[in-house]
Amino acid sequence: MNKTQHTPSVKWLARTLHIAAVLALLACSSCSRIDEEGKVLRLPLRADDPKSLDPVQGSTVYDNKATCQVYETLVQYKYLIRPPELEPLLLSEMPTISEDRLTYHFKLKPGVLFHDDPCFPDGKGRELVTDDVFYSWKRMADNGNNPKSWWLLKDTIKGFDEYREQQNAAVEAQTGSFDYDAPVAGMQKINDHEFRVILKQPVQRFMWVLAMFQTAIVPREAVEKYGDRFGRHPVGTGPFTLAEEDWRPGQRMVFYKNPSYHPCYYPTEHMPSDVAAGWTKDAGKRLPLVDRLEFQFFVQDQPMWLSFRTGKIDYTQVPDEYFDEAFLKRTKQLRPKLVREGITTQNVELLDFIFRGFNMEDELLGGYGEKQKKLRQAISLAIDLDEFNEAFYSGINTVYDGPIPPGLEGFPPDGKADVSYRGPNLERARQLLAEAGYPEGKGLPRIEFYTSSGRNNVEQTELLKRQLGKINVEINAQIVEFSTLIEKVHNKKAPFFGFAWGSDYPDAENNLALFYSPNAAPGSNSFNYSRPEYDRLYEQIRSMPPSPERTELYIKMRDMVIEDTPYTGSMGRTRFYLINPWLKNFKVTEDFYNWPKYLDVTQRGVYPSEN
CA distance 467 to 300: 25
- Can you identify the CATH homologous superfamily of domain 352-572? Dipeptide-binding Protein; Domain 3 (3.10.105.10)
Portions of the chain given CATH number 3.10.105.10: 352-572
CA distance 73 to 215: 6
Cβ atoms of residues 67 and 319 within 8 Å: no
CA distance 374 to 129: 55
CA distance 225 to 228: 9
Assigned architecture for domain 72-225: Alpha-Beta Complex (3.90)
Mean pLDDT, to the nearest integer, of 101-106? 97
Q: What local confidence, expressed as pLDDT, does residue 214 receive?
A: 96
For residue range 115-157, list pLDDT tens digits in order.
999 999 999 999 999 999 999 999 999 999 999 889 899 999 9
Q: What local confidence, expressed as pLDDT, does residue 49 receive?
A: 81
Confidence band for 329, pLDDT divided at 50, 70 and 90: confident
Portions of the chain given CATH number 3.90.76.10: 72-225
Q: Which three-class secondary structure string do you get for 155-206?
A: CCECCHHHHHHHHHHHHHCCCCCCCCCCCCCCEEEEECCEEEEEECCCCCCH
CA distance 533 to 551: 17
Q: What local confidence, expressed as pLDDT, does residue 33 receive?
A: 66
For residue range 432-482, list pLDDT tens digits in order.
999 999 999 999 999 999 999 877 889 999 999 999 999 999 999 999 988
Percent of the chain with pLDDT over 90: 81
List, in sequence order, every residue forming a beta bridge with 390; answer none if it has no partner: none
Q: Which of 355-359, 436-440, 572-576, 578-582 has the lowest mean pLDDT?
A: 572-576
pLDDT at 19 over 90: no
CA distance 179 to 103: 25
Q: What local confidence, expressed as pLDDT, does residue 31 receive?
A: 52
CA distance 208 to 76: 9
pLDDT at 364 over 60: yes
Cβ atoms of residues 601 and 33 within 8 Å: yes
What is the β-pairing status of strands 75-77 and 398-399?
unpaired
What are the CA-CA distances from residue 518 to residues 126, 152, 365, 524, 539 (Å)? 37, 11, 20, 9, 11
pLDDT at 159 over 50: yes
CA distance 336 to 557: 47
Q: What local confidence, expressed as pLDDT, does residue 195 receive?
A: 98
Other Cβ atoms closer than 10 A to 497: 24
Confidence band for 264, pLDDT divided at 50, 70 and 90: very high
- Please give the mean pLDDT across all residues of the chain: 91
Confidence band for 47, pLDDT divided at 50, 70 and 90: confident
Cβ atoms of residues 43 and 62 within 8 Å: no
CA distance 358 to 364: 10
pLDDT at 28 over 90: no
Mean pLDDT, to the nearest integer, of 90-110? 97
For residue range 484-512, list pLDDT tens digits in order.
999 999 999 999 999 888 888 889 999 99
C-alpha dihedral sign at 28, 603, 238, 576: positive
Mean pLDDT, to the nearest integer, of 98-108? 97
Q: What local confidence, expressed as pLDDT, does residue 32 receive?
A: 57
C-alpha dihedral sign at 394, 395, 397, 402: positive
